[in-house]
Amino acid sequence: MNANNYKISVNVVPAYIPDQSQPDKHSYVFSYTVTIVNEGAVPARLLTRHWVITDANGGTQEVRGDGVVGEQPHLKPGEGFQYTSGTMMKTPVGSMTGTYQMMADDGVKFDAEIPEFYLLVPKILH
């Protein structure tokens, strides 16, 4: 298996949603926009997602499911897919990381790593 054939880049831009958050009730809502690009040589479909969400208290929740936002995008080399989703946490600071399971058109399954990113209420850290 040539690893260069199976290369998916993942970029995430998080944002705090103050209108939906209730800090007095320990409820902080964040959106995140994900851009997935097939940088490999073989077309591939995103089958499943696995997220690990960690809050500032060390509490973690895992989210697993088929596809993203109801889709299982098929990406040819050079193609990208972007979507926005969200999560709620009990603390104003946290992080997310995970993987997408991909299936290349040649039958090879591989994981695309989602690099860890931070969910931060603005001005919470100095």
| Residue 48 included in any domain | yes
Domain count of the chain?
1
- What CATH number is associated with residue 95? 2.60.40.1470
Residues 6+ apart with CB under 8 A from 20: 29
Q: How many CB atoms lie within 10 A of CB 123?
A: 7
What is the per-residue pLDDT across 65-103, written as a single tens digit (0 to 9) for each? 999 999 999 999 999 999 999 999 999 999 999 999 999
Instruction: Flag whether pLDDT at 125 surpasses 90.
Output: no
| Residue 42 included in any domain | yes
| Residue 124 included in any domain | no
Q: How far apart are CA 117 and CA 101, in angstroms?
A: 19
Kindly report whether the global pTM for this prediction surpasses the value 0.85.
yes
Q: Could you list the residue range(s) of the whole structural domain that residue 101 is in?
A: 3-119
Q: Are 44 and 104 within 8 A, CB to CB?
A: yes
Phi, psi of 19 (to 5 degrees): -65, -25
